[in-house]
Chain A
Amino acid sequence: MSEIITRELSVGYDNKSIIEMINLEIKAGKIVVLIGPNGAGKSTILKTVAGLLEPVAGKVFVADKELTKLSPNARAQSIASMMTGRFATEYLTVAEVVAGGRYPYTGLMGKLSDEDRKIIDEALETVGALEQRDKDFARLSDGQKQRVLLARAIAQKPDFMILDEPTSFLDIGYKLSFIDTLRSLAKENNIGILMSLHELEMAYRVADMVVCINKQGTIDRIGTAKEVFNNQYIESLFDVKPGMLKGSYRFADTNNPAAQIRAKLANPKAHFIMVQGTMSSAGKSLVVAGLCRIFKQDGYRVAPFKSQNMALNSFITEDGLEMGRAQVMQAEAAGVKPSVYMNPILLKPTSDSGSQIIVNGKVRGNMKARDYFEYKTELVPDILAAVEELQKQADIIVIEGAGSPAEINLKSNDIVNMGMAAMVDAPVLLVGDIDRGGVFAQLLGTIELLDEEERSRVKGLIVNKFRGDKTILDPGIDMLEERSGIPVAGVLPYMRLQLEDEDSLSEKFDRRSDAAIKVGVIRLPHIANFTDFDVFEQLEEIGIHYISHIKDIESMDLVIIPGSKNTIADMIWLKESGLESAIKKYSAQGRPVIGICGGYQMLGEKISDPLGVENGGEVVGLGLLPVETVLTGEKHRSQVSGRFVKPTGILAQMAGLAYEGYEIHMGETRCIDSALEAFTDSGSGYCRANVWGSYVHGLFDSEEVIKKLARILAQQKGIDIKLDHVMDYRSRKEQEYDELAATMREYMDMDMIYDFIGVKNDKAGTV
Chain B
Amino acid sequence: MKKRSTLVYLILVILIIILLLANLMTGSSDISVSLLTDIVLSHSRQDALGVIIWDIRIPRLIEAAFLGGALALSGYLLQSFFANPIAGPYVLGISSGAKLLVAILMVFSYKFFFSMSSLMMVIASFVGSCIAALLVIIVAKKVRNMAVLIVCGVMIGYVCSAATELIVAFADDSNIVNLHNWSMGSFGAASWSNVKIIIPVVVIGMLASFVLSKGISVYMFGEAYASSVGMNIKLFRLMLILVSSLLSAIVTAFAGPISFVGIAVPHLIRSVTKTSDVKTMIGASFLGGAAACLLCDLLARCMFAPMELSVSTITAVFGAPIVIVMLLKRKRDQ
Q: A interface vs B, CB < 8 Å? A: 47, 50-52, 71-77, 79-81, 83, 85, 87, 89-92, 96, 99-101, 103-104, 106, 108-110, 156
Cβ contacts under 8 Å, B210 to chain A: 109
A52 contacts B222, C-beta separation under 8 Å: no
Per the bound structure, the CA–CA distance linking A106 and B278 in Å amounts to: 15
Q: Is the CB of B276 within 8 A of A81?
A: no
Evaluate contact between A47 and B218: CB separation under 8 angstroms.
no
B229 lies within 8 A of A52 (CB): no
Any A CB within 8 A of the CB of B230: yes
Distance, CA A106 to CA B218, complexed state (A): 13
B97 nearest CB across to chain A (Å): 29
Is B45 part of the binding interface, using a Cβ–Cβ cutoff of 8 Å? no
The count of residues in chain B whose C-beta lies closer than 8 Å to any C-beta of chain A is: 23
In chain B, residues 206-255, which have Cβ atoms closer than 8 Å to a Cβ of chain A?
Answer: 210-211, 213-214, 217-218, 221-222, 224-225, 227-233
Report A-chain residues with C-beta under 8 Å of the C-beta of B270.
90-91
Interface check B275, CB cutoff 8 A: yes
- Roughly how many angstroms separate A681 CA and B231 CA in the complex, as a whole number? 80
Residues A52 and B228 in contact in the complex (CB < 8 Å), given A90-B270, A90-B276: yes
Cα-based distance from A81 to B229 in the complex (angstroms): 8
**Is B277 at the interface (CB under 8 A from chain A)?**
yes
| B227 and A72 form a contact (CB under 8 A) | yes
Between-chain CB contacts (< 8 Å), 24 pairs: A50-B228, A52-B224, A72-B230, A72-B232, A75-B230, A76-B229, A80-B228, A80-B229, A83-B225, A85-B224, A90-B270, A90-B276, A91-B270, A91-B273, A92-B276, A100-B218, A101-B229, A103-B218, A103-B229, A103-B230, A104-B229, A108-B211, A108-B214, A156-B229
Asked if residues B277 and A52 are in contact (CB atoms below 8 Å), the reply is no
Q: Which DSSP category, helix, strand, loop or mixed, fits chain B's interface?
A: helix
Nearest A residue to B277, CB-CB: A96
The interface residues of chain B lying within 8 Å CB-to-CB of A92 are 275-276
Residues of chain A contacted by B180 (CB below 8 angstroms): none
Q: Tell me if B43 counts as interface (CB < 8 A to partner A).
A: no
Least Cβ–Cβ distance between A98 and chain B, in angstroms: 12
Q: Which residues of B are in contact with A by a Cβ distance under 8 Å?
A: 210-211, 213-214, 217-218, 221-222, 224-225, 227-233, 270, 273-277
From A73, A87, A89, A110, name the one whose CB has the most chain B CB atoms within 10 angstroms: A110
A81 to B270, alpha carbons, bound, how many Å?
29
Contact partners of A52 in chain B: CB under 8 A: 224, 227-228
Q: Which chain B residue shows the least CB distance to A108?
A: B211
Query: Which residues in A have their C-beta under 8 angstroms from that of B229?
Result: 76, 80, 100-101, 103-104, 156
Extra contacts besides A50-B228, A89-B221, A89-B276 (20): CB < 8 Å: A52-B227, A72-B231, A72-B232, A72-B233, A76-B230, A79-B228, A83-B224, A85-B222, A85-B224, A90-B270, A91-B270, A91-B273, A91-B275, A92-B275, A92-B276, A96-B277, A100-B217, A106-B214, A109-B214, A110-B217
B214–A73 CB distance below 8 A: no
CB-based closest 3 A-B pairs: A76-B230, A110-B214, A104-B230
Cα A72 to Cα B210 with chains together (Å): 21
Nearest B residue (CB) for A76? B230
Residue numbers in B under 8 Å from A47 (CB-CB): 224
Select which of B221, B224, B277 is within 8 A of A100 by beta carbon: B221
Cross-chain contact A109 with B213 (CB below 8 angstroms): yes
Contacts of B233 in A (CB 8 A): 72
Give the residues in chain B near A108, CB-CB below 8 Å.
Answer: 211, 214
List of A residues within 8 angstroms of B218 by Cβ:
100, 103
Residues of B within 8 A of A81 (CB): 228
Known A100-B229, A108-B214; judge A87-B224 contact (CB<8 A): no
Bound together, the chains give a CA A608 to CA B224 distance in angstroms of 77
Given A110-B214, A110-B217: A73 touches B228 (CB 8 Å cut-off): no
Q: How far is the CA of A91 from the CA of B214 in the complex (A)?
A: 17
Chain A residues whose C-beta falls within 8 Å of the C-beta of B232 in the assembled complex:
71-72
Q: How near does chain A come to B151, taking the closest CB pair, in angstroms?
A: 21
Give the interface centre of A50, A51, A90, A96 by most chain B CB atoms within 10 Å. A90
Q: Which of B213, B224, B273, B276 is in CB contact (< 8 Å) with A96?
A: B276
Query: How far is A164 from B75 in the complex, measured between Cα atoms in Å?
Result: 34
In angstroms, Cα B224 to Cα A287, docked, is: 50
Shortest distance from the beta carbon of A153 to any chain B beta carbon, whole Å: 9
> Which of B211, B213, B227 has the most C-beta atoms of chain A within 10 angstroms of its own C-beta?
B227
Q: Contact at A109–B211, with CB atoms within 8 Å?
A: yes
A77 contacts which chain B residues (CB < 8 A)? 230
CA distance A503 to B233 in the complex (A): 63
Q: How far is the CA of A337 from the CA of B160 in the complex (A)?
A: 78
Inter-chain contacts of B273 with A (CB < 8 A): 91
B228 engages A91 (CB within 8 Å): no
The answer to whether residues A91 and B213 also contact, given A47-B224, A72-B231, A103-B231 and a CB cut-off of 8 A, is no
Closest chain-A Cβ to B240's Cβ sits at a distance in Å of 15
Chain A: minimal CB distance from B66 (Å): 23
A50 to B225: give the CA distance in the assembly, Å.
Answer: 11
B277 to chain A: closest CB distance in Å?
A: 7
CA–CA, A83 to B225, complex, Å?
Answer: 8
Complex Cα gap A508–B275 (Å): 84
- Complex-state Cα separation, A99 to B220, whole angstroms: 14
User: Measured between C-beta atoms, what is the minimum distance from B311 to chain A in Å?
Assistant: 29
Name the contact of B228 in the complex, choosing from A74, A83, A109 (C-beta under 8 A): A83
Which of B210, B225, B230, B275 has the most A CB atoms < 10 Å from its CB?
B230
Taken together as a complex, chains A and B put the C-alpha atoms of A100 and B216 apart, in Å, by 11
**Complex alpha-carbon distance, A101 and B218, angstroms:** 9
Least Cβ distance of A282 to chain B in Å? 47
B214 contact from A51, A76, A80, A103, Cβ within 8 A: A103
Contact A87 B228 (CB under 8 A): no
Bound-state CA distance A335–B311 (Å) is 89
B212 to chain A, nearest CB (A): 10
Q: Cβ of B277 and Cβ of A51 under 8 Å apart?
A: no
A154 CB → nearest B CB, Å: 13
- Nearest residue, chain B, Cβ from A72: B230
Q: Which residues of chain A have C-beta atoms less than 8 A from B217's C-beta?
A: 99-100, 103, 110
Partner of B276, one of A74, A91, A101: A91
Residues on B with beta carbons closer than 8 Å to the beta carbon of A80: 228-229
Specify which chain A residues have a CB less than 8 angstroms from the CB of B231 in the assembled complex.
72, 103
Determine how close the nearest CB of chain B comes to the CB of A691; give it in whole angstroms.
82
Q: Which residue of A lies closest to B231 (CB)?
A: A72
Collect the chain B residues with CB atoms within 8 Å of residue A100's CB: 217-218, 221, 225, 229
A156 to B230, CA, bound (A): 10
Whether the Cβ atoms of A76 and B213 lie closer than 8 Å is no
Residue of chain A at shortest CB distance from B234: A72
